[in-house]
Amino acid sequence: MRVRKLSIQNFRGISHLEWQPSDGINCLVGPGDSGKSTIIDALDWCLGARRTLPVSDADFFALDVDDPIVVECVLGDLDDGLKNLDAYGAFLRGLTDEGDLEDEPGNGLETVLVLRLQIENDLAGQWQLVSPRAEDLGQARGLSWSDRVSVAPTRIGTFANQHLGWQRGSILNLLANERADASAQLAEAGRQARKSFGDSAGEQLAETLGIVDEAADELGVGVGEEARAMLDAHSLNFSGGTIALHDGNGVPLRKLGMGSSRLLIAGLQRRIAERSSIALVDEVEIGLEPHRISKFLTALGSKQAEPPMQVFMSTHSPVVLRELKSPQLGLVRAGQNHSVMPAGHTDDVQATLRSAPEGFLGLHVLICEGATEVGLLRGLDLYLSDCNRPTFQAAGGVVVDGGGVSRVYRKALPFSELLYHAAVLRDDDVQPDAADEQRFEDRAGTVFKWTVGWAFEEELFDCLSDDGIENMWEFLIGVRREEKLVEHLRNVKNGSVDIDTLLSDPDDDDRALLAKAAKKGSWLKRIDIMEEAAHRVVGPDLVNMKDDFTDVIGSVYEWAGVDYD
C-alpha cells in the first residue's frame, strides 16, 4: 500500500495542505515549526489502528474547535483485501496519472480508497471511507478493524521500545504468523509464586498486620483468624507485553541504546514491508552516530530503485541529507497554505545535496563565493554572540561555500528554484555568468557584492580602521610565518617593504598593497583562519570601519532578519 495523496485541514499549525508523496522515502525538511511532525502525526492518526486519539483543543488550527480537523489519505497499491467487492465495492475509486480522483475505478486508473479522519469539537476521531456514490446509496463505513491493523504504519519514534516486546501494536507481531500462548503457563507460574512467597512478608509487616487485626476485631469485620500479607494475585497480571526480547545473557533488549533499538526496528520493518508497507520516522538522526545513519536509511530501503516501502520521516541532520537522493526530499513550506515541495532530481540539486546539505536545513541560505566569506560570516557571528547580540545562525541563516565564482550559481540556483530565501555574497573582481545571475535574481534571489571591481581583500583592507589593520597584521603573523607574508608584500610591490611604515597610518596605496598581497598569498582563503580573523579582528573593528564594508555586512544580516546596526 502507498499513500498517493495526503490532505490536511485545520490540524495544529497547518490550515491547509495538499501533497502527493513519492513511493519510497519522503524525508521532510524545513525549518522548525514548519509542520514536519504535524504531517507525520496526521498520517499516524489517520492510518494507525487506534480506537481513540489523544486530541486536545490545541490540536485545532488556531484553537478553533468549530472548524473540524480533517486528514484525508488516498491509498493506492492496494492489497487484494482492500479491493474486496463485498466489503469496499462501493468505495473503490480511481486515480489518474495526474493525481486526479475519479468516483469509480477504471481502465488506466489506479484503484484507490480514500480514508478520511475527521475530528469535530467533541474531540473524537471518526474514520470513514469517502465515496460519493456510496453516499448516494446510503452506505457509510470505514476500514474493518483487521484492515486497519494491516495498513497501520510502523512508527519508529524517539523511543521505539514498544516494538521490542509482544505487546499490542508491536512490529514483532507482524513478523510471522505465530503467537506465544503463555497465558496458561503464566497463570500457573503466578500460582507458584504466590505459594512460595507464602507468608514471608508477614514477619516484615508484623506490626501493620497487628494493627489491622485489632481494628478489624474492634469493628467486627471478619478477617478470619488473622490478616496475612500475601502476594496479590492481581498484581501478577500477565498481559500482552509480558514477553519481550532478551539478549543471550537474558538482558532485555529494551536496555539497548536508543540508536540501536531504532536501528533494529528499522531492520525488522524492512522484513515486513510487504504486509506493513508504511513507516513513520521522527527525527531520523536521533541516537544514531553518522555511520549508523547510513545503515538505518539503507534498512528503510533508501538505496533501492524499487522502494520496498513508503517512509515518511523528518530530519535536521546534514548527515542524513547527504545519504539521500534529491527525489527523496520533501521541502515543507509554511504559509497561508502549507505545501511540500519535491526537491526534484536535477544534477545540480543532487550535487548541492552532496556538497552543501546544510543549506537545505536553513531558513535563509547565503551562498558565498568562497571559503573566505564563509569564514567571515561565521567569525562575525562568533563576535556578535560574544557581545550577546543576535546572530545570523540563530536567525536560521546557513552559509554555503559556493566553491568559486564560476560555480557559485550552480549551487545557488537550485535553492532559489526550490523557493528558499536565498542570497549570494560574491567578489566583484571576476564576474559570474550574467544570465545565471539574472535567473537567480528573477527567482527572488538577492545578490550581495563588494565595491565594483573589487575582491573581498580589497574591500577589507580599504575599510579596516588603522588599528584594525595593525590588529589584522598581528593576527596574521600569529597564524602564518611573518617572513612569508613579507615576501608576498615584496613580490607584489616588486621592491623592499618596511612593515612598520606600512602599518603606521596606512594610506590608500599601503592598503592596496596589503590587499593585493593578501589576495596573491591567499592569507585569508581558509575558513578557519578567516573565521578567527573575523572573530578577533573584523568584528571588534566593525564600529570603526568604513561604511562600504559594514553596509554590505549589515544588509546581509538584515536580509536574514537579524536586527543589526
Partner 1 sequence: MTDVDLLDIRRGSIVAPAGCGKTQLIVDALSNAKAPLPYLILTHTNAGVAALRHRLNRQGVGRSAYRVATIDGWCMRLAALFPMRSGYSDGLQPKTPSYPKIQKAARKLLEEGHLRDILPANYAGLVVDEYQDCSVGQHAIVYFASRHLKTCVLGDPMQSIFGFGQNQLADWEGDVCRHFPTAVELDRPWRWINAGNEPLGRWLLDARQELMAGRPIDLRTAPNSVKWSVLQGGNGNFDALVDAARVHHRAAGETSLVIGDSRSASSRYRVAKRIPNMVTIEPVHLKDLVSYAMALDLGDGYSVGETLEFAESVMTNVGATDVMSRVKTLKAGSGRKPPTDFEFIVMQVLDAPSYQGLAAILSACSARSGTTVFRPSVLRAALRALELTSDGSGMTFGEAAVRVREENRTVGRQLPKSAIGSTLLLKGLEADHVVVLNADELDARNLYVAMTRGAKSVTICAQGAILNGQTEYKGASS
Distance CA 408, CA 306 (A): 34
Provide, rounded to whole angstroms, the least separation between the CB of residue 138 and partner 1.
10
Nearer Cβ to partner 1 (106/478) = 106
Question: Of 36-44, 72-80, 399-407, 431-439, which segment contacts partner 1 by CB under 8 A?
Answer: 72-80
Cα separations in angstroms, 46 against 21, 58, 123, 159, 326: 15, 18, 14, 21, 27
CB of 108 to partner 1, least distance (A): 8
111 binds partner 1 (CB under 8 A): yes
Quick one: DSSP state of residue 254?
G
Distance (Å, whole) CA 453 – CA 203? 94
- 444-466 burial, b at 16+ Cβ within 10 Å, e below that, comes to ebbbbbbeeebbbbbbbbbbbee
90 binds partner 1 (CB under 8 A): yes
- 105 binding partner 1? (CB under 8 A): yes
d(CA 320, CA 322): 5
Taking CB under 8 A as the criterion, the residue among 52, 107, 177, 388 binding partner 1 is 107
Per 3-state DSSP, what percentage of the chain is helix, strand, and coil (rounded to 5)? 45, 15, 40
Rg from Cα positions in the chain: 33
- In the complex with partner 1, the residue whose CB is nearer, 109 or 419, is 109
Per the rule left: phi > 0, alpha: psi between -120 and 50, beta: everything else, 560 is alpha
80 binds partner 1 (CB under 8 A): yes
Confirm if 114 and 131 have CB atoms less than 8 A apart. Answer: yes
Q: Choose one: 44-52, 81-89, 341-349, 418-426; the region binding partner 1 (CB under 8 A).
A: 81-89
Number of residues located near partner 1, criterion CB under 8 A: 17
Comparison of 106 and 252: residue with beta carbon closer to partner 1: 106
Q: Which of 6, 78, 164, 472 binds partner 1 (CB under 8 A)?
A: 78
Q: Is 106 in the site for partner 1 (CB under 8 A)?
A: yes
Judged by beta carbon, residue 133 or residue 484, the one nearer partner 1 is: 133
- Structure-block grid coordinates of residue 244: 519481550
45: β partners: none
Q: Examine residue 100 and tell whether it contacts partner 1 (CB under 8 A).
A: no
Q: Could you give the dihedral angle defined by the CA atoms of residues 324, 325, 327 and 331, in that order, rounded to the nearest 10 degrees?
A: 40
Residue 115 grid coordinates: 480514508
Grid-cell match 593576527, residue found: 475
- Residues in contact with 160: Cβ distance below 8 Å, sequence separation at least 6, in sequence order: 258, 261, 262, 265
Q: Which stretch binds partner 1 (CB under 8 A): 87-95, 184-192, 232-240, 430-438?
A: 87-95
Cell reading at 385: 554572540
| Spatial separation of the C-alpha atoms in residues 286 and 311, rounded to whole Å | 16
Strand partners, 128: 116
Complex with partner 1: residue 104 or 558, whichever CB lies closer: 104
80 vs 563, which CB is nearer to partner 1? 80
Provide the minimum distance between the beta carbon of 165 and partner 1 in the complex, in angstroms, as a whole number. Answer: 30
Of 33, 133, 188, 528, which one interacts with partner 1 (CB under 8 A)? Answer: 133
Residue 85 lies near partner 1 (rule: CB under 8 A): yes
83 forms part of the interface with partner 1 (CB under 8 A): yes
Judged by CB under 8 A, the stretch of 43-51, 79-87, 278-286, 431-439 that binds partner 1 is 79-87
Based on the shown chain and the rule CB under 8 A, indicate whether residue 203 belongs to the binding site for partner 1.
no
* Strand stretches in 23-95, DSSP E: 25-29, 69-76, 93-95
Cβ 276 to partner 1 shortest distance, Å: 18
* Distance in Å, CB of 279 to partner 1, minimum: 24
Single out the residue of 103, 498, 509, 558 in contact with partner 1 (rule: CB under 8 A).
103
Q: Is 92 in the site for partner 1 (CB under 8 A)?
A: yes
User: Minimum Å distance from CB 267 to partner 1?
Assistant: 27
Rounded distance between C-alpha atoms, residue 486 and residue 523, angstroms: 12
> Which one, of 417, 277, 253, 443, lies nearest residue 343 by Cα?
417
**Which residue lies nearer to partner 1 by CB, 109 or 212?**
109
Alpha-carbon distance of 298 to 193, in angstroms, equals 46
Nearest to partner 1 of 111, 391 (CB atom): 111
Closer to partner 1 by CB, 56 or 139: give it. Answer: 139
When asked if residue 135 is in the footprint of partner 1 (CB under 8 A), the reply is no
Nearer to partner 1 among residue 95 and residue 331 (C-beta):
95
Which lies closer to partner 1 via its Cβ, residue 76 or residue 359?
A: 76
Minimum distance of partner 1 from residue 444's CB (angstroms): 44
Q: How far is the CB of 184 from partner 1 (least distance, A)?
A: 29
Residue that is written with C-alpha cell 536560521 in the block: 396
Q: How far apart are CA 93 and CA 114, in angstroms?
A: 8
Interface positions, 42-71, toward partner 1 (CB under 8 A): none
Q: Which residue lies nearer to partner 1 by CB, 85 or 305? A: 85
Q: Of residues 33, 62, 89, 482, which one binds partner 1 by CB under 8 A?
A: 89
Q: Compute the distance between CA of residue 154 and CA of residue 376 in angstroms, rounded to an integer.
A: 45
> Min. distance of Cβ 104 from partner 1 in angstroms?
5
Q: Which is nearer to partner 1, 2 or 536 (CB)?
A: 2
d(CA 73, CA 216): 62
User: Is residue 337 within 8 Å of residue 35, measured between CB atoms?
Assistant: no
SS (H, E, C) 260-279: HHHHHHHHHHHHCCCCCCEE
Report the residue number, 112 or 518, with the smaller CB distance to partner 1: 112
Q: What residues line the site for partner 1 (CB under 8 A)?
A: 78-80, 83-85, 89-90, 92, 103-107, 111, 133, 137
